[in-house]
Every structure is written in C-alpha cells, then in structure tokens.
Structure 1
Amino acid sequence: MATSLSRLSGRVWIHPGDPDPEAVKPCVAVIADDAGSTVVDAGQSPAHARSVKAAMADAGLPAARRLVYTHHHWDHTWGACAWEAEEIVGHESGAALLSAEARRPWSHAYLKEQVAAEPGLGPSFTARARAMSDWADFAVRPPTRTFTDRLVLPGGIEVRHVGGRHAPDSTVVAVPDSGVMLLGDCFYPPPFHLREPGPAAEEIDMGQITALVAEGFDWYVDSHSPPWRPPSA
C-alpha cells in the first residue's frame, strides 16, 4: 500500500489509511499553510505519525503547526505524542474522555487484561497491540484548545461539532477554499463493543451524511475510505 502524501484539492493533502479493516489505521489529512500546516487527526500510533511527518517533509510541506482531532478514539489520537505541534484542537466532550484515557496504564499486558475482562474490546485492543511496537515515551494527549460548537482557525479552516452515534465529540473540518470536507468517522455506527444487538447497530447515520453532502463540497473524506465526490459533483 502506498503511504506517501497525495494532493487531493487545493492545499489539502491525504496520507491514505490501510484498507485492511483489522489494521484500524485511518487516513490523515494535511492542510498546508506557509505559517505551519494543520494536521487533521494524529495517526493511530507514534510510528504512524512519524510516517506522515516523513511524507510531509518529502512533499516539501511546512511542518505541523496544529493538530485537530475529529474525535477521541485511539486510532485518531494515539500518534499525537510524536508531533511537535503548538496546539491540539478538539471538542470539549472529547477532552475529558482523553484525560481519562491518559491515566490508564497502557501496555501490552494491560491490553490483554482488559480483553480478558471484557471480550467485546478484542477487535479494538488487538489492533492497538499491533500498532504499538513499544511504549517508550508514549502518552495520550488531550486537546490543548477546546471548543463547543464551531471554531474558525487561521486560514479559514472551519471546525464544527456534529456528534452522532459513533462518538459524542465527532467533529468535521471544512476547507472551503479547497472544496474539501473532512468527516472523520462521524456517520459511522458505534464502535463494536458499544453496539446493541440487532441489524440497526451497524447502520450508518444516513440523516447526518445526507445533510453534510447537501452542503455541496467537491470532495468528502471519511477516515477509512478513499476520498469521494458526491453524486452531483
């Protein structure tokens, strides 16, 4: 699988995720700016983050000035400790969740203990174990700057809370001058261990994604699929 950055549109670049769902490695977006790039999601591990940083350098993009979390889940935040960004932006409801995560004694042994106690955690925690070759200098980093509804960052980047069943802090990031909306996992069903029995548990949030597509961006990027255009684009 190619891991280099590619320009999607305007100043938005995409570092593709892993198409194998068991890898749980999402794409990472880079919004280039001469004053310092904005990186949307930190990667699922320090190794993943370092791969994105190397690709940015190879592409001649400015180093990261800030990270923006689309939500608090591990595959979007565990790479943060490998970045040297000035700030990390995230929704206020995710800040408390990540602060709690930061206090947990993460290790391969701890992951195994948790799965033994709650088998539903198996898919997520097994993927975490594969992603982390070692735990030296690892830390979960909560946001250093939070918002409640929406926030406009330098360069006209729009950060908006949308919530939903997948995560209470789900956030979309719009780059109007490039015609791109970055969706994170906002319209996905809940994580496996939080799903109720029944077919509805795996349904996507059609109302939410329909409303977002109606905003008319040229490109939409969710975290575990290739970038896509709406039917009318």
Structure 2
Amino acid sequence: MPCVAVVADDGGSTVVDAGQGPAHARLVQSAMAEAGLPAARRLVFTHHHWDHTWGACAWEVEEIIGQESGAALLAAEARRPWSDEYLREQVVADPRLGPSFRARARAVNDWADFAVRRPTRTFTDRLVLPTGIEVRHVGGRHAPDSTVVAVPDSGVLLLGDCFYPPPFHLREPGPAGEQIDTRQINALVAEGFDWYVDSHSPPWRPPAS
C-alpha cells in the first residue's frame, strides 16, 4: 500500500493521497479517529495513479486538489468501465498491465460503490493552502503531474512517487534502479528538509553533509 499522510490543525485535516481503494481509505479514517485527529477537510493528490487516487470515493471532503495535467488524465480514467471483467480484458490485450490491474482488482471489493474522483480544484505550478502547506508541481518520468507537498512547520517534504521509474508497462528495458530520477531527488534533498517521505518507503532523513 502507498503512504497516506495526514496534516492536522484546528481547521481540519489535509490528507495527502486518498489510498489505493475505498477499504484502504477507511483504514486511514479509522486510524485518524483513534488518534483523535480532526475530520478530513481536503484531499491532495501527489499524482493521478490509481494507488494514490482510487480511495477518494470513500472520503467526504470540501475539495480535492490536483495538478491540472493529472486532472485531465483522471477525467479519462473516470470514463473507463471499471470492473473485474474489464480488468481481465485489458490484461489479455496487454499482459504488461498485469501487475497493476491485478492489484487494482484486489483493492476494490465492490465496484458498485466505486468511482474515480477528479480534482475539484487544480493548480499549474504552485499552490499554498491556508494552513501554510505548499503544493508544488515537479513532474518527472514517473507521472507528468507529480507533485510534492511541503509542511514547513514540521520540516517535512512529502514526495509521492516523483523520482521513481515510470510505471512497469511504460518502463524501458533494464534495472528499475537505473531509471530512478537521481537529479530530481538530489535537488529536493538539497532543499534541506528534516524529513522526506516517499510513498512506498518509511520516512527518511537526508544524509549528513
């Protein structure tokens, strides 16, 4: 499962990425309630990929924020007839989709309650939320809409998947590690945050200089 981050203040919680499906979103909601955190007020997508956005239909929020190029991609995703049968058909047509599409099938228990939700508020380059959270488009090879989310008061930069290789079915031959965007991650580390959080690893600190 990808990371879902929660930034809480007196005005409500900002949730960064929605979870990979409704069940994942509900796990996060239960954890927030158990921790006594305020209810979610907004969602921020780090990018449009399914494992970061498919939980959005289980959140009740005032707004969903995403970069404008990702909003267009999610609009196209929302028009697809998602179901177990459709997923199987797509894998037969392109076997390289197998890992992603089989994981999607496991993430959604009931397609009747599922919908791809698009951002209700978009930005181009940078957006500062009332809480001081900064949402910044960085792009990259993994997704054109990759966005990082800075929480200056906590010294935290949420990276999403921005420096990761492209998705498996779009990847060039060769080891995945060689396709990591080292220039991008080095530039982000140089910004000097105390903690960095990418979506599929524990939080980490930059190496000491």
TM-score when scaled to structure 1? 0.88
Alignment counterpart, residue 83 of structure 2, candidates 95, 107, 110: 107
**Offset of residue 179 of structure 1:** 0.4
Partner residue in 2 for 1:170? 146
Alignment counterpart, residue 131 of structure 2, candidates 135, 141, 155: 155
Alignment counterpart, residue 117 of structure 1, candidates 70, 93, 105: 93
Answer yes or no: is 1:221 the counterpart of 2:197: yes
Cα distance, 1:217–1:201 mapped onto 2, change above 3 Å: closer
Partner residue in 2 for 1:207? 183
Contact 2:108-2:114 at 8 Å conserved across structures: no
Contact 1:195-1:201 at 8 Å conserved across structures: no
Structure 1 residue runs of 5 or longer lacking an equivalent are 1-24
Distance 1:110 1:202 in 2: 33
Q: Greater CA deviation, 172-181 or 125-134?
A: 125-134
Contact 1:220-1:228 at 8 Å conserved across structures: yes
Cα distance, 1:228–1:48 mapped onto 2, change above 3 Å: same
Cα distance, 1:110–1:201 mapped onto 2, change above 3 Å: farther
Partner residue in 1 for 2:16? 40
Aligned residues: 209
Q: Greater CA deviation, 130-139 or 143-152?
A: 130-139
Q: Deviations over 1:35-57 (max 9, x none)?
A: 11000000000000000001000
The equivalences for 1:118-133 within 5 A come to: 118-133=94-109
1:90 aligns to what SS in structure 2?
A: strand
Q: Deviations over 1:174-221 (max 9, x none)?
A: 000000000000000000000122347852100000000000000000
Answer yes or no: is 1:145 the counterpart of 2:137: no
**Amino acid of the residue matched to residue 122 of structure 1?**
G
Cα distance, 1:220–1:201 mapped onto 2, change above 3 Å: closer
TM-score when scaled to structure 2? 0.98
Q: Deviations over 1:44-76 (max 9, x none)?
A: 000000000010000000000000000000000
**Amino acid of the residue matched to residue 11 of structure 2?**
A
**Amino acid of the residue matched to residue 170 of structure 2?**
L
1:221 aligns to what SS in structure 2?
A: strand
Distance 1:177 1:94 in 2: 27
**Offset of residue 131 of structure 1:** 1.1
Partner residue in 1 for 2:62? 86
Partner residue in 2 for 1:187? 163
2:43 aligns to what SS in structure 1?
A: strand
**Offset of residue 136 of structure 1:** 2.2
Distance 1:196 1:228 in 2: 28
**Amino acid of the residue matched to residue 38 of structure 1?**
T
Alignment counterpart, residue 73 of structure 2, candidates 91, 97, 101: 97
